[in-house]
Amino acid sequence: MRFIPKDTRGFTLVEMLVVAPIVILAIGAFLTVIISMTGEVLASRASNTLAYNVQDALNRVEQDVKQSASFLSVNSVVLTAPEDVTGSNTLGHRYQGLDNAAAKFYNVSDDGPMLILNMVATTSNPSNTANSYIYLKNQPNACGSTSISNNTPLTYNIIYFVKDSTLWRRTVMPRNYNDTTNTVCSIPWQIPSCAPTTIDTQGSAGFCKTNDIRLVDGVTKENFFLQYYNGENAKMINIPATGSTDPNVRGTALQAATTVSVSVNASQSAGGREVTRSASLRVSRLDTNASSVGIITAQGAPVAPTVSARTAPGASATFNWPTVTGATGYTIDYNINGGGWINVFTNQNNRTATISANANEDTINVQVRSIGPTGTASAYSTSTLKTPLWESLNLQGDWVEYGSPHAPAQYTKTKDGMVLTKGMIKKASAVVSGETFAQLPDGYRPTNRLLFGTSSAGASARIDVLPDGSLQGLTGVAATWLSLDTLRFVPDGRYPRVAVTPVNGWTNRVISDPNELAVASYVKDSSGRIVVQGFLEAGTVTSGTRIFDLPAEAQVSGQLLFQTRTSTGFGHFMTGLTTTTGITARGSTGTWMAVNSIFYPASYSGAPWAWNSATPVGAWLPYGSGYAAPSYAKSDTDNVVVLRGLVKSGSTTAGNTIINLPQGFRPKERLLFTTTANNAYSRIDVLPTGAVIFQTGSNAWLALESVTFKAEQ
């Protein structure tokens, strides 16, 4: 048998060394071909995409330019700066600027050229033949009028600009573009757009409702090029439209331009290759007569209103102004005595505002501007009014002024918040107890009823001040004459009110109604005065009975006596008795007592200018024995004069002078005050000459404490 060897498979080492390089070269060549083909495909695809995007951008420009009203040098829609945002409808509006804030767009700037188009808002897509313009309300016709086409249309801006090497399209809408209550007759189809990052931040609650359109990436500001022409077939470039450094000059030139040439050069990297695409477009506005619309919006901010002012009751002023052509709203701010501005309302269709000052003699300053339909605002117009020192009480029924030399019936509120009245009144008919003879305005009223003692026809009488401002004459009021010179109080709200604790059976009335008499309490005002007010009952009104105590800040250094009213008529009480730190009934009877009084505490007397000694005239002498000596003080803040002191021994002839007050501490008219003398009713008057004169009462002792008035000369 013959042996046949088996077949041998594979390559020898020598063969491998020969074949391997050939295989590697073949694979490399193949990969090179594949990579090259892939790069070509990627570059080709990127080139096609870029070409499409560039052409799509120009198609959008063409469509927008044809529908535009005019070219602009700066956006005509006013963008709201952060500090001007005052309402929820402005949220996000400040993000429509070039810097995604409130920066303006300029057709020529260091940020590159920008195509700024003034557009007319429409009810639907402008390409829809059924759409119509959005018109402004009452400019000049009402919505729904057959002449509505004569109204001013609502305009907005479309802006093409380069930012972060990308060409963008932004729709900039007026702040109140969808306000059918005040601004437009219907809601536009167009909506505002913002940078995608803004939309992400603001969400649906923001002003912007959609993203800007991202047109082409890879476009630098040098590769977006614009030229303007004054006609479709014009060959000469409108050089001022882009060549002037003054945006107003460019704006005027652009109003004459009807045609724009737009060039876009984009460059991107794809598949390891640089892909570039360029395209140009020349397009004209279809309505070359519509540039006036652009002028109305871009340059037609309404004029500033002419503001007039008149006084109103209660240290107030009413400011008003006529309708401003082209304005759809007004903004008004005010300050008192030059302080910070406070907004009254913003962009509202109101033409009047009443503003209250803190006190009489305050100065109210206002600034008012008109707001146009696109949010464009005029300059501010200003007006100033100083409220009068005194305001007239409107007397009711048949009450009338008593006449000279007595003051007219008036009221005021000082810078420290004290309300004072003055004047003498009378009536021809009989007095009905509880009748209202005048009324104080809001801001001059107590929270609860206050009860004051006064003089009427030579005797003690009672006047109540109600929470609605009513001044009511009660017990003792006579038709012959009634003095209003003793009503002084501080309404609640200005200062912390400190309640006092009654003692010896005295109680505060439980208040179930604002018309109930106020509980006993006090305030310390900014001049350092203590103003006590209120009413106590169910106690024992006998001389020397403590009613309530006062804390250290409200205690006095000498004994002071104040007139008042009790359940049995005239009465008086004392503060500063050596055996107590508070209020004590003196020489009075009955089961209730009003405790209204004004005085300076002991701490006040430490100031070198606090008290001025008053030298009694003639036979009048200081009483002594721990009672305050005759003296007077005046607040530097509100010129309110306060007297104090107990005197004796003088002449009881009517008109006899007790003390004299110097210039600067005198009233303008004769004032009449009720006081207490030897445990009984007494009357003293203060004259414009400064003389404090005796009228009725006793000279055994006479108190000056109930005299408080406004120095006017």
For 410-461, write each residue's pLDDT tens digit.
Answer: 999 999 999 999 999 999 999 999 999 999 999 999 999 999 999 999 999 9
Is residue 626 domain-resident? no
Return d(Cα 688, Cα 665) in angstroms, integer. Answer: 9
Is residue 443 domain-resident? yes
**Is the model's pLDDT at 605 over the cut of 70?**
no
Return d(Cα 221, Cα 324) in angstroms, integer. Answer: 42
Residue 533 pLDDT: 96
Q: Are 315 and 415 in contact (CB under 8 A)?
A: no
Does residue 393 sit in the same domain as residue 382?
no
Say which CATH number the domain at 317 has: 2.60.40.10
Q: What is the 3-state secondary structure (H, E, C) of 456-477?
A: ECCEEEEEEECCCCEEEECCCC
Averaged pLDDT for residues 20-28: 72
Residue 272 pLDDT: 74
Q: How many CB atoms lie within 10 A of CB 180?
A: 13
* CA nearest to 152, candidates 210, 90, 85, 76: 76
Is residue 38 domain-resident? no
Does residue 405 sit in the same domain as residue 475?
yes
Return d(Cα 235, Cα 213) in angstroms, integer. Answer: 32
Domain that holds residue 366: 308-386
Dihedral angle, C-alpha 544, 550, 551, 554, nearest 10 °: -110
Is residue 228 domain-resident? yes
Return d(Cα 280, Cα 278) in angstroms, integer. Answer: 7
Query: For all residues of the chain together, what is the average pLDDT?
Result: 88
Is residue 238 domain-resident? yes
User: Which of 472, 489, 506 delimits the end of a domain?
Assistant: 489
Residue 540 pLDDT: 64
Q: Are 350 and 181 in contact (CB under 8 A)?
A: no
Does residue 337 sit in the same domain as residue 358?
yes
* CA nearest to 357, candidates 287, 309, 422: 309
Does residue 504 sit in the same domain as residue 403?
no
Is residue 235 domain-resident? yes
Does residue 165 sit in the same domain as residue 84?
yes
**Is the model's pLDDT at 288 over the cut of 70?**
no
Is residue 32 domain-resident? no
Does residue 252 sit in the same domain as residue 131?
yes
Residue 147's Cβ-count burial label (10 Å; 0-12, 13-18, 19+) is exposed
Residue 377 pLDDT: 84
**Is the model's pLDDT at 121 over the cut of 60?**
yes
Does residue 165 sit in the same domain as residue 81?
yes
pLDDT digits (tens, 9 = 90+) for 262-274: 999 999 887 678 8
Does residue 479 sit in the same domain as residue 508?
no
**Strands of 109-209, DSSP E:** 115-120, 155-163, 166-172, 193-194
Domain count, the chain: 5
Return d(Cα 689, Cα 74) in angstroms, integer. Answer: 69
| H-helix or E-strand spanning residue 679 | none
Residue 656 pLDDT: 97
User: Which of 299, 331, 356 delimits the end of a domain?
Assistant: 299
Q: How far is CA 160 from the centre of its chain?
A: 38
Q: How many CB atoms lie within 10 A of CB 416?
A: 19
Q: What are the structure tokens assigned to 281, written together?
A: 């477009």
Cβ-proximal residues to 432 (8 Å cutoff; 6+ apart), any chain: none
Return d(Cα 618, Cα 80) in angstroms, integer. Answer: 74
Q: Are 188 and 154 in contact (CB under 8 A)?
A: yes
Query: Among 169-178, 469-478, 612-621, which is the least confidently predicted range?
Result: 169-178
Is residue 66 domain-resident? yes
Averaged pLDDT for residues 639-649: 96
Does residue 293 sit in the same domain as residue 349?
no
Does residue 128 sit in the same domain as residue 97?
yes
User: How do 352-356 and 363-371 pair as beta strands?
Assistant: unpaired
Averaged pLDDT for residues 94-118: 90
More confident residue, 77 or 8: 77
Q: How many CB atoms lie within 10 A of CB 28?
A: 10
| pTM value surpassing 0.85 | no
Residue 209 pLDDT: 86
Please state at what angle helix 247-256 crosses helix 291-299, rounded to 10 degrees. Answer: 160
Say which CATH number the domain at 450 has: 2.60.40.1830
Does residue 66 sit in the same domain as residue 188?
yes
pLDDT digits (tens, 9 = 90+) for 307-330: 999 999 999 999 999 988 778 889
User: How do 193-194 and 210-211 pair as beta strands?
Assistant: parallel
Q: Are 233 and 86 in contact (CB under 8 A)?
A: no
User: Which of 386, 415, 447 delimits the end of a domain?
Assistant: 386
Residue 31 pLDDT: 64
Does residue 515 sit in the same domain as residue 404?
no
Residues in a beta bridge with 177: none
Query: Among 222-231, 307-316, 536-545, 627-636, which is the least confidently predicted range?
Result: 536-545
Cβ-proximal residues to 590 (8 Å cutoff; 6+ apart), any chain: 541, 566, 567, 568, 569, 571
Given pLDDT bands bounded at 50, 70 and 90, which one contains residue 82?
Answer: very low
DSSP state for residue 344 in the 8-state scheme:
E
**Is the model's pLDDT at 286 over the cut of 90?**
no
**Is the model's pLDDT at 357 over the cut of 80?**
yes
Say which CATH number the domain at 545 has: 2.60.40.2460
What sections of 136-188 are H helices per DSSP?
Answer: none
DSSP state for residue 136 in the 8-state scheme:
B
Q: What are the structure tokens assigned to 561, written together?
A: 């006596």
Cβ-proximal residues to 72 (8 Å cutoff; 6+ apart), any chain: 107, 116, 117, 118, 157, 251, 254, 294, 298
Averaged pLDDT for residues 583-590: 80
Residue 530 pLDDT: 94
